[in-house]
Amino acid sequence: MARAPFVRVNFQPSGARRRVAAEDIVRTLAEEVSAGRLPRGARLPPVRALEHELGISKNTVQAAYDELCARGLLVTRERDGVFVEGAPAAEIPATRLAAPAPRFVEPNLDRQRMPEPDVLPLSMVFIDPELLPRERLAECVKSVLHIPGLHALYDAQGYPPLREVIAKRLRARGMEVGAGDVVVTTGSQQALDAVCRALPRRKLATENPVYQQAKALFETLGAELTGLRLDPFGPVPFDEWHAALAAAKPELFYTVTSFHNPTGRSYSTHELLRILELANELGFALLEDDWGSDMLSHEEYRPTLRALGGPNVTYVNSFTKKLLPSLRLGFVVGEPATVPALVAAKRVATLGNPTLIEATLCELLERGYYDTHLSAMQAELDRRYARCLGALDALMPAGVRWTSPGGGPTLWLEVPRQVSLDALSERLIARKVRIHLLPRAFHGEPHLHGFPIGFAFLPTERLVQGLEVLGEELRRLLEAA
C-alpha cells in the first residue's frame, strides 16, 4: 500500500537567527496542531526532507520531532513516518472547487482527426509517412547528441548554424536574407503567431478561403479580418480586392502564394507583382506563407513575393509536412528592424525551441539528406498526382471539376451546388471514406462548394479506391437532386 503524502508546513527562524532551529519547528507545529490546521493523523515531512529544505542537520529535525512526541502531539509509526497524534487520515482533507472552470473562447476550429486505420482520408494534407526520411533523421539525431554544449542553453531566435543554412538556401532562390533575419519557430503556425502578436494594430486581410488554422489563430488573437475572394478556377479579382483593401485599411495582408491551402492554387508572377503594387499604393505590409514552393518537382522554382519585393516582405516557410510532421520546425524571415519584435513575440509564447531538434534539422540539411529526400518525394508525388488526375477524369460525374496545381499535396474538388456536402460526407463515412469540409476557412458564406483532395498521403491504389466511392456517391446524390 502506498504511503500517504506528507503535508507541507512552512517554518521561519525566530529572532535574529538566519536558519530554523529545533525550537522553531516545535513552536510552529504546536501552533498548527492547536489551530486545527494540521488534522489528526496527518503525515509530517520526513526528517530527510526537512533537513534538505531548511539546510539544517537531521539531528536538529529529529530533536524537534522527539520533543513533540514527548508532548503527545506527534506519534512515530515504524516504517511509515511521523504523524499528528490521532487516527490516521486516509488522505489530506480537500475542499472541492465549486466555482466554475475558466471560461475559454469557443474554438473556431474543427477537432483534430488522426488517421483512422479502417477509413480512407481523401482530404489529408500530409505526406505518406512511408515517404519520409526517418532513418536519415535518426542518424542526424545520434550525430548531434555529441555536439559540445548543445544542451546547455537555447537561442530564442533559433540555433545559429541552422539559421545560417536556411539563409543560404533562401539566397540561392533569389531572396535577400542573412542568418540574422531568420527566426526559427515551431512550424509555420508559431511564425504566424509571432507576426500577429507583434503587430501594433491587428487588422489583417487574408484570402477567402484561407488556411483555416491561420484564420483561427488570428481570430483568437482578436484580429479584425477582411477576406479577399479567391476562386481557384479564375483570375484574381484585383479590382474587387483593391476596393476591399482601400476600405478596410489593413495593417498586413497574409497570403499563401504557392499551392494555396486549401485550394491548391499558385499565383502567377504577374499576380505577385500586382499584389506588390497594391501594397505600395495602399500602404499595407505583406506576410508571405510559402510553405509549398519546394514541393514543386524538378529543380526549378518560381519567384516568391520576398524575391520580387525585397526584405520588407515578411516570409514564412516550414519543414513540417515535407520532412516529418512531428518535427514541427518552421521559420519566419524579417529584416533588421522587425526581427527583435518577432523574437520577443516568440519568447512570450515559448521562450525557445528544443535546440536538439533544430540541430538535427541543421545536420540533415548540411549533409544533403533533405535535398535527396525532396527529389525522391517529388518524383513519387508527381506519379500520385498524375494518377489522381487520371482517376478523377475516369470516375467523377459531369459537373464536377477540380484544380490542376501541378505540385503540393492537394487539389480542390468543386461539386455542383445541388449536392449537399454534409449529406455527401455522411454517405462517404458510412463507406469508410472521409472528406474534410472547410466552412470555417471562409469569411462568411462559402462561395466555393467543395473540398480538398489529398493525393500525397494515400498510396495510389487506396486513393483510387476512395475516389471510386466518392464518384459513386456523387452520382447517387446528383440523380436524386
Q: Report the C-alpha gap between 71 and 98 in whole angstroms.
A: 39
Q: Is residue 252 within 8 Å of residue 316, measured between CB atoms?
A: no
pLDDT digits (tens, 9 = 90+) for 159-180: 999 999 999 999 998 999 999 9
Residue partners of 147: CB distance under 8 A and separation at least 6 = 359
pLDDT band for 134, please (50, 70, 90 cuts). Answer: confident
What pLDDT is attached to residue 112? 60
Q: Taking residues 8-15, what's their average pLDDT? A: 92
pLDDT band for 79, please (50, 70, 90 cuts). Answer: confident
Q: What are phi and psi of 43, to 5 degrees?
A: -85, 130
Query: Exposed e or buried b for every residue in 371-396, given b needs 16+ CB within 10 A?
Result: eebbeebbebbeebbebbeebbeebb
What pLDDT is attached to residue 222? 93
* Higher-pLDDT residue of 130, 284: 284
Q: Report the C-alpha gap between 108 and 385 in whole angstroms.
A: 31
Query: Exposed e or buried b for every residue in 126-141, given b needs 16+ CB within 10 A?
Result: bbbeebbbeebbebbe
What pLDDT is attached to residue 126? 81
Helix (H, G, I), strand (E, B) or coil at 331: strand
pLDDT digits (tens, 9 = 90+) for 182-231: 999 998 999 999 999 999 999 999 999 999 999 999 999 999 999 999 99
Q: Report the C-alpha gap between 265 and 387 in whole angstroms.
A: 19
What pLDDT is attached to residue 299? 56
Q: Report the C-alpha gap between 439 and 449 in whole angstroms.
A: 9
What pLDDT is attached to residue 437? 95
Q: Report the C-alpha gap between 206 and 225 in whole angstroms.
A: 7
Nearest by Cα to 162 from 331, 373, 338, 312: 331
Q: What share of the chain is helix, strand, coil (3-state, %, to 5)?
A: 45, 10, 45
Of 108-117, 241-250, 393-402, the range with the lowest mean pLDDT is 108-117
Q: What are phi and psi of 414, to 5 degrees?
A: -105, 130
* Higher-pLDDT residue of 106, 405: 405
pLDDT at 114 over 80: no
pLDDT band for 422, please (50, 70, 90 cuts). Answer: very high
Nearest by Cα to 411 from 443, 387, 429: 387
Residues pairing with 121 in the sheet: 434
pLDDT band for 133, please (50, 70, 90 cuts). Answer: confident
Pick the CATH number of 1-92 from 2.60.450.10, 3.40.640.10, 1.10.3720.10, 1.10.10.10: 1.10.10.10
The alpha-helical segments, DSSP class H, found in 238-396 are: 238-248, 269-282, 305-309, 320-323, 339-350, 355-366, 369-395
Q: Taking residues 415-423, what's their average pLDDT? A: 97
Nearest by Cα to 261 from 324, 209, 305: 209
What pLDDT is attached to residue 323? 66
Q: Report the C-alpha gap between 250 and 248 in whole angstroms.
A: 6
For the chain, the average pLDDT equals 90
pLDDT digits (tens, 9 = 90+) for 290-332: 987 777 665 567 789 999 999 999 999 998 777 666 678 999 9
Q: Report the C-alpha gap between 184 and 343 in whole angstroms.
A: 9
Arch. (CATH architecture) of 133-370: 3-Layer(aba) Sandwich (3.40)
CATH number of 120-127+372-480: 3.90.1150.10
336 DSSP 8-state letter: T
Q: Report the C-alpha gap between 86 and 72 in whole angstroms.
A: 10
Burial class (CB in 10 A: 0-12, 13-18, 19+), 325: middle
What pLDDT is attached to residue 406? 86
What pLDDT is attached to residue 2? 65
* Intra-chain end-to-end CA distance of the chain, in Å: 67
pLDDT band for 232, please (50, 70, 90 cuts). Answer: very high
Q: Taking residues 279-288, what's their average pLDDT? A: 96
Q: Report the C-alpha gap between 217 and 107 in whole angstroms.
A: 10
pLDDT digits (tens, 9 = 90+) for 89-112: 545 556 777 778 777 767 666 666
Instruction: Note every long-range contact of 423-431, with CB atoms under 8 Å and residues 24 or more positions apart, other chains counting.
Output: 423/477, 424/473, 424/474, 424/477, 427/473, 427/476, 427/477, 428/122, 428/469, 428/470, 428/473, 429/119, 431/469, 431/473
What pLDDT is attached to residue 20? 94
What pLDDT is attached to residue 411? 94
CA distances from 250 to 206, 224, 227, 246, 284 (A): 10, 9, 11, 8, 6
Q: CATH 3.90.1150.10 in the chain: give the residue spans.
A: 120-127+372-480
Q: Report the C-alpha gap between 74 and 32 in whole angstroms.
A: 12
Of 230-234, 316-320, 415-419, the range with the lowest mean pLDDT is 316-320
Cα 301 from chain centroid?
27
pLDDT at 364 over 60: yes
Residues pairing with 286 in the sheet: 253
pLDDT at 391 over 90: yes
Most confident of 107-116, 226-235, 372-381: 226-235
Q: Taking residues 430-436, what's their average pLDDT? A: 96
Q: Report the C-alpha gap between 218 and 193 in whole angstroms.
A: 8
Residue partners of 325: CB distance under 8 A and separation at least 6 = 126
Q: What is the dihedral of CA 416, 420, 426, 429, to 10 degrees?
A: 10
